[in-house]
Every structure is written in C-alpha cells, then in structure tokens.
Amino acid sequence: MYIDLFSGCGGLALGLHKAGWKGLFAIEKSADAFSTLKHNLIDKNSNFSWPVWLPKKNHDINEIIENYTKNLEELRGKISLVAGGPPCQGFSMAGRRKEKDERNKLIDSYIKFIELVQPNILFFENVKGFTIGFKKGNKRGKAYSVYVVNKLKKLGYDVKGDIIDFSEYGVPQKRQRFILVGVKNGKALTFFEKLVQNRADFFKSKNLKDTTSLNEAISDLHQSNGTEESPDTKNFQAGLYTQPLSKYQSLMREGKYLKNKIADSHRFAKHKPETIEKFQYILNNAQANKNIPDSIKEKYNLKKRTVVPLCGKLPTPTLTTLPDDYIHYCEPRILTVREYARIQSFPDSYEFKGKYTTGGDMRKSDVPRYTQIGNAIPPLFAEQAGIVLKGMR
C-alpha cells in the first residue's frame, strides 16, 4: 500500500499501478490536476482504496497534516511506500530560480508527513536544480537535497539520491531528474542498482528499443494525417490517428486499432499565417533541439526566452509547461496536449481534464492540461521504479 504526495495528474500513480502497487490516497492541491487523476485512476479504475476519513477531493498537504494528524499516525506500520516530491518550480534551472519561492517550504511539509506516517520506503522526485545550492553573493549555499537527506537520516532512513535521465528508460525525452530513495530496513543504493539491471528485461517485456525518438513517439499524430472538429472545443480542429508506425506507438495505444478516430486532447492551435511562416523559417534555418539564436529572435522581434525547434530523430529536450517553447519537428506549429502526453509516456487512454492553456494572473491558480503533463513523472519510468520498489518492501 502506498500514498502519493503532490500527485499532480497521476503520472507516478499510473506507473506504480502498472507495477502492481495499490494506493491508499493521493494528495494534490490543484483542482485541475486532481480532476484528471480522479477521472482516470479513481472513477474509471479503482487504483486507490480511499479512507473514509478523507474527502475524495484536492487537498493541500499542510491542511492534511493539521486536520488529520491522528489519522496519519494510525497509518504507521500499514504503509509500505510514500511516493512523490514537492513542486519544483523554485529549484528549476529552466526557469528563474527563487530561494524564497513559497513552494520551496513544502520540503518541510513533506518531511513532517514522513515523520507522521513512517513508511518503510520513500521515493522522492525533483528537478536537477534541487541538488544545486542557491547563490548567495559569490558563494553557493547548501543544496536542498543535502537538507532533505540529513533530515531523513535523522528519521532512521538509509538514503541515496542520484540524477537519472528518463530517456535511458524508454521515455522519448532527455529529462534529467533527481531521484531520492529512503529505506527503513535495507540499503537505498539497491534501488539504483536494480533499476539499471532490470532495464533490458523491461524493454523486452514492452517490445521497446533502448531509446525512442520523437518521430517514433508521435508520427501517427501528424496534422497532415487529417482533422475533424474538436469534440471538446468549438471552432478548433483535432487530429486523427493513422495506423501505428512504431513499437512505442503501439504500446501507447495499448494494442487498440484507432485509425481515423480522434485522439483525446489532440486539439491543434489556431496559428496566424505569419506565425506559421515564422515557424517554418525557424525549422528551415535553426539547429534542432537548441534554443534559436539571437539573430532569429531579432528578425522576428521575439522576446521569448526559449524557442526550440524539435528534432524527429532524437528524444526531445525536457518539456516545460509552456507549449510555445517548442516547434513541432516537421510541421510549423506547437505540439498538442496529446503529443505532450506521448512524449511523457502517458497511454492514449489517459484523458486530461481542465483548460488547455491559461495566461496572466490565472497562471498562479490554474493548472491546465499542458502544465499537468509538463509537471508529471513519466509513467513508463514510474512503472520501472515501482517494480524495483516492490522488491524492496
């Protein structure tokens, strides 16, 4: 039995479920992200045996700790695993790192939760920047990862952390993340050793190659394959499937033949003609998988920090939560939500809820579909982690 903290839209929970884990409950503050998790993993599939004392809705972890302290303490000895890491935006090297970001304080909430429940194992994920101290003048302070490791050791855990590149585990994205494992009885290093040892057999069981390119991930979702009116948004076009063109696509479709059907959340952006022309120029003249040079930014008066034309022959760089950071590798447009989901290894049966995008002040409260996926742990990696963690219980 496990508890999923900061669960987002359910990427980690889906992977753990596929590895044979049963969840007790999930804690997620965002109503948007929780609605996606609830739709897929609670309403459609009973992946959680939700306790009667906890309302089946989005929750803030601090409210849970404050209002259900006794209930959490009563779970001691019953929970094998607490999985999930606090939000990473304050630590991310992809954004503007802020030591005083309020979300960084959730590290202490996480540690308090572990102290109350005392699971046998904990699995923690965060961005690479979590291992790098914030600058203070000419020096760097102590990294938050060191702080967490020391706190968990005091709670009686053997702890090991490492940077893992998810593209080495079948995900078509070079996404490096800090993974930390703590074990009450045993050695945390075992997790990382077994993860590598199990990789070849896992790929064989899924009929996957060692690495998956972007083209192998999404070429059956091209806009050129045909469109119909979007079923969830008026006046937008959504894409149709062709037959699967790679082993990865067959895996994401879970063996279903979907030709000429509309893919969930596969709504195309309505780009202006000048935007399409600009994107085509970038595809023709800029290096793939690299931020465009200043000369092109100046040509089009672009103020955006990041615009990356993607390469079909390689995994993508790390997806952010901003879809207009990337240009599709062979069509002059941004990626769709479903293409984002494919790159993050969500199966096509996983349906996303809430708005597609948001902007302005609403970014502080809304967690639209692109953001849900950009923040998620890829289920394909989570499944491999879950298999190893099962053997460590």
| DSSP class per residue in 156-202 | T-EEEEEEEEGGGGT-SEE-EEEEEEEESSS-THHHHHHHHHHHHHH
Characterise 184 by phi-psi region: left (phi > 0), alpha (psi -120 to 50), beta (else).
alpha
The predicted structure's pLDDT at residue 144: 78
Nearest CA to 170 out of 198, 203, 194 is that of 203
pLDDT of 278 above 60: yes
The predicted structure's pLDDT at residue 365: 63
Domains of the chain, start order: 2-209+377-390 (3.40.50.150), 270-335 (no CATH)
**What's the pLDDT band for 81 if we cut at 50, 70, 90?**
very high
Measured distance between the N- and C-terminal CA atoms of the chain, rounded to whole angstroms = 10
The predicted structure's pLDDT at residue 274: 96
Least trusted range by pLDDT, from 5-19, 84-98, 220-234, 324-338: 84-98
pLDDT of 97 above 60: no
How many CB atoms neighbour CB 330 within 10 A? Answer: 14
Average pLDDT over residues 229-249: 93
Average pLDDT over residues 113-125: 96
Q: Indicate the pairing of strand 173-174 with strand 316-317.
A: parallel
- Give Cα separations from 209 to 61, 170, 177, 243, 377 (angstroms): 39, 7, 21, 19, 20
Please name the amino acid found at residue 303.
Answer: K
C-alpha dihedral, 335 to 341 to 344 to 349, nearest 10°: -160
Quick: pLDDT tens for 357-390. Answer: 877 666 666 789 999 999 999 999 999 999 999 9
Name the one residue in this structure whose structure tokens are 């802020």. Answer: 98
- Give Cα separations from 262 to 228, 231, 240 (angstroms): 8, 8, 5
Name the one residue in this structure whose structure tokens are 């948004």. Answer: 233
Handedness of CA 97, 98, 103, 104 (dihedral sign): positive
Average pLDDT, the chain: 91
Dihedrals phi, psi of 140, to nearest 5 degrees: -105, 140
Dihedrals phi, psi of 183, to nearest 5 degrees: -130, 135
Report how far residue 277's alpha carbon sits from residue 183's, in angstroms, rounded to the nearest whole number.
54
Average pLDDT over residues 248-257: 87
pLDDT of 119 above 70: yes
**What's the pLDDT band for 254 if we cut at 50, 70, 90?**
confident
Average pLDDT over residues 170-196: 96
The predicted structure's pLDDT at residue 93: 41
CB-based contacts of 387, cutoff 8 Å, min separation 6: 19, 20, 198, 202
Report how far residue 179's alpha carbon sits from residue 366's, in angstroms, rounded to the nearest whole number.
27
